């Protein structure tokens, strides 16, 4: 019998039209989208279904939208096939904001609380740095050791003794590391990476430098929010971004969610940890297939299935 991890995507998986076919096909999905709309007092579902894309990609909208899509898929699986986290998942995990989705899926947050927290998280991350101060870049063909060395060199401002913030933001695995920090440092890192023969180094079209020390004000905001709305105990363990380990204690999870805002998302290590625990099947619920692709590249023998559309849900129902 396969051992399943249910995983939930992060920012970058959104697209106009997300969830539209799901809502048309399944009342359970429509109910979930309506619950999120009512909680946020916003027609988020219309924005997901119809755009405009520029508004959907605003961080404060993207984060709850991706959560809503993923949890709508889970609701449909529950209604149509009796598939629940409790009876099918060995562990759950989510990439960055997806960690909140994973916790909601595992009962540690209500849907409404997860929606409110992610709306606040998106707003706080956007406000943490003025526009243009920070940037992010992808280093393709680099490992973490190389990325750290590049960041260390790029942090030094030329002809001064000053240092700028730059650090690995996402260790996605399969030779893909994302770095984040002050724009000047990230620009220097791209040139250093090219000089070192890294396959490809490119700026990412993001609105803020996520998962680095420049996000400290957002971490403070989330600490306050999570004190008011703490997580409960998930019904199955969470593999956390910050620790890349199994977590189930609510206070520990709360602390890791705060740290996660400024810390590296250790996705490669998380996938490896799940594999070492016996997981051989990764079920990605929600928009896109990013995590399914990463899992297959990190652990080639693993089974990866993405479920975000009615047709993909049918395939998952047959598989599980």
pLDDT > 90? residue 207: no
77-88 per-position pLDDT tens digit: 999 999 999 999
- Cβ 179 vs Cβ 169: under 8 Å: yes
The Cα 12–Cα 99 span in angstroms is 15
**Do 184 and 314 belong to one domain?**
no
Token digits of residue 316 = 């998952």
CATH number, domain containing residue 275: 3.40.366.10
Alpha-carbon distance of 243 to 265, in angstroms, equals: 9
Per-residue pLDDT, 1: 85
CA trace torsion 270, 271, 277, 278 (10° rounding): 170
Kindly report the pTM of this predicted structure.
0.97
For the segment 109-126, what is each residue's pLDDT rounded down to a tens digit? 999 999 999 999 999 999
Q: Which residues contact 126 (CB under 8 A, 6 or more apart)?
A: 58, 59, 60, 207, 208
Are residues 106 and 8 part of one domain? yes
**Average pLDDT, integer, range 304-313:** 96
Mean pLDDT of 174-194: 97
- Relative to beta strand 89-94, strand 176-182 is unpaired
Out of 206, 228, 251, pick the residue that ends a domain: 206
**Are 169 and 193 found together in one domain?**
yes
Which residue among the candidates 96, 180, 207, 270 is catalytic per the annotation?
96
274 and 172 co-located in one domain: no
Query: Which residues constitute the domain of residue 244?
Result: 4-128+214-319
Q: Which of 45, 95, 211, 281 is catalytic?
A: 211
Concatenate the DSSP letters of all residues of the chain into one string: ---EEEEE--TT---TTTTHHHHHH-HHHHHHHHHHHHHHTS-HHHHHHH--HHHHTSHHHHHHHHHHHHHHHHHHHHHHH---HHHHEEEEEESTTHHHHHHHHTTSS-HHHHHHHHHHHHHHHHHSS-TTTEEEEEEET--HHHHHHHHHHHTBPTTSS-B--EEEEEEEETTEEEEEEEHHHHHHHHHHHHHTT-SEEEE---SS--SSGGGHHHHHHHHHHHHHS-----SS-EE-TTT-SEE--HHHHHHHHHHHTTS-B-HHHHHHHHHHTT--EEEEESSSSHHHHHHHHHSTTSEEEEE-SHHHHHHHHHH-
Q: Is 107 left (phi over 0), alpha (psi -120 to 50) or beta?
A: left
Task: Tell me how far the alpha carbon of residue 93 is from its chain's centroid.
Answer: 9
CATH number, domain of 181, equals 3.30.70.250
Tell me if residue 211 is catalytic: yes
- Residue 174, pLDDT score: 85
The count of structural domains within the chain is: 2
Q: Is 240 found in the same domain as 123? A: yes
The percentage of the chain sitting over the pLDDT mark of 90, rounded to a whole number, equals 95
Q: What is the pLDDT of residue 320?
A: 85
> pLDDT at position 218, please?
98
**Residue 95 a catalytic site member:** no
Are the C-beta atoms of 253 and 240 separated by less than 8 Å? yes
* Same domain for 141 and 121: no
Q: How confident is the model at residue 67 (pLDDT cuts 50, 70, 90)?
A: very high
Could you tell me if 147 and 238 lie in one domain?
no
Q: Verify that 91 and 164 share a domain, yes or no.
A: no
pLDDT > 90? residue 190: yes
Q: Are residues 163 and 199 in the same domain?
A: yes
**Which of 190, 206, 222 is the last residue before a domain boundary?**
206
Tell me which of 171, 206, 241 is where a domain ends: 206
In the chain the first and final C-alpha atoms are separated, in Å, by 10
Determine what percent of the chain is predicted with pLDDT higher than 70: 100
Residues 218 and 110 placed together within one structural domain of the fold: yes
pLDDT band of residue 206 (cuts 50, 70, 90) is confident
Q: Would you state the pLDDT for residue 205? A: 87
Arithmetic mean of pLDDT over the chain: 97
Same domain assignment for residues 166 and 303: no
Residues 110 and 222 in one domain: yes
């Amino acid at each position: 019998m396969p051992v399943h991890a249910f995983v939930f995507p992060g920012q970058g998986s959104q697209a106009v039209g997300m969830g539209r076919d799901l809502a048309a096909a399944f009342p359970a999905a429509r109910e979930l989208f309506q619950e999120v709309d009512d909680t946020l007092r916003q027609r988020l579902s219309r924005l997901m279904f119809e755009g405009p894309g520029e508004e959907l990609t605003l961080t404060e909208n993207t984060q709850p939208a991706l959560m809503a899509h993923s949890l709508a898929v889970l609701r449909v699986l529950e209604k149509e096939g009796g598939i629940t986290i409790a009876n099918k998942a060995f562990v759950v995990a989510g990439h960055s904001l997806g960690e909140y989705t994973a916790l909601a899926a595992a009962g540690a947050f209500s849907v409404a609380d997860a929606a409110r927290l992610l709306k606040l998280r998106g707003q706080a991350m956007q406000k943490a740095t003025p526009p243009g101060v920070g940037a992010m870049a992808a280093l393709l063909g680099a490992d973490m050791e190389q990325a750290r060395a590049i960041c260390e060199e790029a942090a030094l401002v030329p002809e001064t003794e000053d240092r700028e913030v730059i650090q690995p933001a996402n260790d996605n695995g399969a030779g893909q590391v994302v770095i984040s920090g002050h724009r000047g440092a990230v620009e220097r890192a791209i040139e250093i990476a090219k000089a070192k023969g890294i396959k490809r180094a490119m700026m990412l079209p993001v609105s803020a430098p996520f998962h680095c020390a420049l996000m400290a004000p957002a971490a403070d905001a989330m600490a306050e929010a999570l004190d008011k709305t703490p997580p409960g105990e998930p019904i199955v363990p969470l593999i956390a971004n910050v620790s890349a380990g199994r977590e189930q204690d609510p206070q520990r999870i709360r602390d890791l969610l705060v740290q996660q805002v400024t810390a590296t998302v250790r996705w490669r290590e998380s996938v490896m940890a799940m594999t070492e625990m016996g997981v051989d099947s990764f079920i990605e619920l929600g928009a896109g297939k990013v995590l399914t692709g990463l899992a297959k590249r990190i652990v080639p023998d693993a089974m990866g299935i993405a479920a975000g559309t009615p047709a993909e849900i049918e395939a998952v129902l047959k598989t599980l």
